[in-house]
């Protein structure tokens, strides 16, 4: 199985370097890495080239992922956010389980890179990881790390670029109707807390909660119902 790892970026030179170095430390090597860059002003593209990545035009996350998928050679697409950290031997375990369980779309449990009082392993297990496992048959969820068969991805015309927030969850829900979905148990993703730090823990949590409820009861959260800022972490 050849894998295409697709990473949308915007001014992520430090984070991208750490993520790519972790991927290179895995034994699994039957993959290509595509970086869809949205005109970064830092050394993001230079870092990507240092690791031998393909470079394509990016945009907001959904557009960047879709552009990456257009040039992907793999039969399976693996979407990762640039600011993630990975559990040890991440690819080795994730891809092995994906194949053994004969999944067509999958996502992961999430944990914070640095635990905070309001965002730690206990709270994220309680409010995200456990619910996504319990509800995976009736309300599939997935974010930050998504594996999907390319045929299914193209049947859905990729990520819906008109959805500003939780377009990854929406893709998971639609893809799970066309194939077998599961949460990978053998590896996990470490996520940053910078969005919570910048926008507020309660405000950000409630935004994602209401977005999920909207998606469950009404449908795709389009028309900028929920605002999403991209690359605003260091801006005043």
Q: What is the pLDDT of residue 230?
A: 67
C-alpha 59/C-alpha 56 separation (Å) is 10
189 within 8 A of 87, measured Cβ to Cβ = yes
* CATH number of the domain to which 33 belongs: 3.90.550.10
User: Can you give the residue range of the structural domain that contains 101?
Assistant: 3-217
On whether residue 222 sits in a domain, the answer given is: no
On whether residue 158 sits in a domain, the answer given is: yes
Residue range 67-101, pLDDT digits in tens: 999 999 999 999 999 999 998 899 999 999 999 99
7 within 8 A of 82, measured Cβ to Cβ = yes
Q: What is the pLDDT of residue 41?
A: 94
On whether residue 111 sits in a domain, the answer given is: yes
Q: What is the pLDDT of residue 233?
A: 57
On whether residue 226 sits in a domain, the answer given is: no
Overall domain count for the chain: 1
Give CA separation, 109 vs 29, 85, 140, 154, 188, in Å. 23, 13, 13, 25, 5
Q: Which of 156, 199, 196, 184 is nearest to 65 (CA)?
A: 156
Three-class secondary structure of residue 4 per DSSP: strand
Q: Which of 235, 234, 182 is nearest to 14 (CA)?
A: 234
Q: What is the pLDDT of residue 102?
A: 97
pLDDT under 70 in the chain at which residues?
225-236
Q: What is the pLDDT of residue 56?
A: 98
| Angle of helix 167-175 versus helix 61-70 axis, rounded to 10 | 50
On whether residue 73 sits in a domain, the answer given is: yes
Give CA separation, 59 vs 177, 196, 197, 218, 232, in Å. 28, 22, 24, 27, 14
Q: Which of 166, 122, 128 is nearest to 146 (CA)?
A: 166
On whether residue 104 sits in a domain, the answer given is: yes
On whether residue 175 sits in a domain, the answer given is: yes
pTM for this entry: 0.92
On whether residue 49 sits in a domain, the answer given is: yes
């Amino acid at each position: 199985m050849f894998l295409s790892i697709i990473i949308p970026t915007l001014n992520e030179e430090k984070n991208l370097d750490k993520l790519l170095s972790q991927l290179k430390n895995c034994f699994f090597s039957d993959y290509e890495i595509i970086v869809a860059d949205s005109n970064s002003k830092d050394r993001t593209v230079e870092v990507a080239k240092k690791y031998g990545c393909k470079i394509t035009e990016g945009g907001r996350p959904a557009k960047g992922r879709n552009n990456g998928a257009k040039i992907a050679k793999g039969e399976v697409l693996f979407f990762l956010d640039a600011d993630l950290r990975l559990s040890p031997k991440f690819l080795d375990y994730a891809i092995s389980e994906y194949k053994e369980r004969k999944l067509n779309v999958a996502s992961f449990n999430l944990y914070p890179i640095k635990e905070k009082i309001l965002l730690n392993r206990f709270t994220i297990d309680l409010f995200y990881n456990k619910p996504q496992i319990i509800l995976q048959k009736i309300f599939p969820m997935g974010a930050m790390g998504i594996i999907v068969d390319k045929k299914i991805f193209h049947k859905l015309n990729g990520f819906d670029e008109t959805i500003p927030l939780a377009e990854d969850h929406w893709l998971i829900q639609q893809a799970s109707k066309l194939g077998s979905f599961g949460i990978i148990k053998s590896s996990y993703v470490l996520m940053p807390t910078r969005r919570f730090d910048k926008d507020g823990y309660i405000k950000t949590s409630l935004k994602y909660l209401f977005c999920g409820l909207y998606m469950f009861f009404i449908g795709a959260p389009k028309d900028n119902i929920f605002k999403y800022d991209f690359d605003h972490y260091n801006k005043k």
